[in-house]
Structure 1
């Protein structure tokens, strides 16, 4: 299926109306997973023409996504990755964990951006940055699409590295996201140290429910709803 290629329209608008020069695109991966970190990529691309086929990482095959990530690593002007662990997600909640991972990514850039294009509708970065949120920015904005691909490929590779030590969970295939295999392994073996044990899926594990970590959700968490995510597998 063909998709409209991403553009620099939003970035050009921000440059014209805000007077900014360095604009970073930010996207995350791992928000809805049961296990593993949430990973955020910040990417700066300038206004150069995007590589052919660039789009939201979820719309690409594994082979195409992996090849594109290798190309993007050299093509982007700058990029950096930030992560928040499962323990940090349990301690802080997803909104604060995303902010932490994004801040780590931004701190890893060679030059501090003047402004940010953030995928989605919620500004989890807060007021410390000049942010424009764009729904489906990973499809429509070049720097966000680049960040999407780089974040996805890195995190998938990280979860695949964990797989040999946790074979029943199928991390190489599901990357820590809900799946029937993942659910069955949780019921049999219980959560690993990579699982987000404050999440609702723990309620469906009678043998392991005592391991659930109770955390009071703040208002942003409740609005985000991520900790309550359970796809029913």
Structure 2
């Protein structure tokens, strides 16, 4: 039986100095699309959390895949992100008929019709939903890492290169969750 489900795909966390990239794939139920979907970057944290719950409660399928710092360093951020996107699509409990991805690139190995849409997270509801799922999932993971590594303030900056974060790295050095190929962290490579 053929379906006409479109999976939206987006990522969160390409730019931080620490933590994984999270990629999400979402198939929305056309009869129950949450109101207010938008690019996760333009939403408040509270609105993202509320939409996350709405999406998880109404979507036909949701899948999240990660690429951690070791994978990012081995492959590079672009390839690692595209691989996480491919794995997120493959992890869906329902096979979509096609995939729409935020950005300029389509991951290899999808075995499905797929197209990249620049600013898709602002234009396509399923991609907006994937943006929100990826961002909230990654942020929640960074909050958990903050409990394990309280000196770094991950719960405040989510691993981005803020002055607080770069100072913590200078004082305490990087953790295994830092990306040693990024920016100033290159000085810590073995």
CA contact (8 A) 1:23 1:46 kept: no
**How many equivalent residue pairs?**
188
- Structure 1 residue ranges, 4+ long, deviating more than 4 angstroms after superposition: none
Q: CA deviation at 1:78?
A: 0.7
CA contact (8 A) 2:86 2:108 kept: no
Q: Does residue 143 in structure 1 map to residue 120 in structure 2?
A: no
CA contact (8 A) 1:79 1:109 kept: yes
Of the two, which has the highest radius of gyration? 1
Question: Counterparts in 2 of 1:108-147, with a 5 A limit?
Answer: 108-123=91-106, 125-126=107-108, 128=110, 129-147=112-130
* CA distance in structure 1 between the aligned counterparts of 2:42 and 2:169, rounded to whole angstroms: 29
Q: Does residue 35 in structure 1 map to residue 18 in structure 2?
A: yes
TM-score relative to the length of structure 1: 0.76
Gaps of 5+ in 1: 1-18, 204-208, 214-233
Counterpart of 1:126 in 2: which secondary structure?
Answer: coil
Q: Show CA shifts across 1:85-142 (max 9, x none).
A: 111111111122112211221222112222110001222x036442211111111101
RMSD: 1.7
Partner of 1:225: none
CA contact (8 A) 1:82 1:102 kept: yes
**Residue 54 (structure 2) aligned to one of 71, 83, 88:** 71
Question: Counterparts in 2 of 1:201-216, with a 5 A limit?
Answer: 201-203=184-186, 209=187, 211-212=188-189
CA gap of 1:117–1:89, structure 2 versus 1, over 3 A, is: same
Q: CA deviation at 1:20?
A: 7.3
Q: CA deviation at 1:161?
A: 0.3
* CA distance in structure 2 between the aligned counterparts of 1:165 and 1:133, rounded to whole angstroms: 37
TM-score relative to the length of structure 2: 0.92
Q: Does residue 163 in structure 1 map to residue 141 in structure 2?
A: no
Gaps of 5+ in 2: none
Q: CA deviation at 1:52?
A: 1.8
Q: Does residue 51 in structure 1 map to residue 34 in structure 2?
A: yes
Partner of 1:5: none
CA contact (8 A) 2:39 2:132 kept: yes
Q: Show CA shifts across 1:165-224 (max 9, x none).
A: 222211001111110100101111111000011222224xxxxx2x316xxxxxxxxxxx
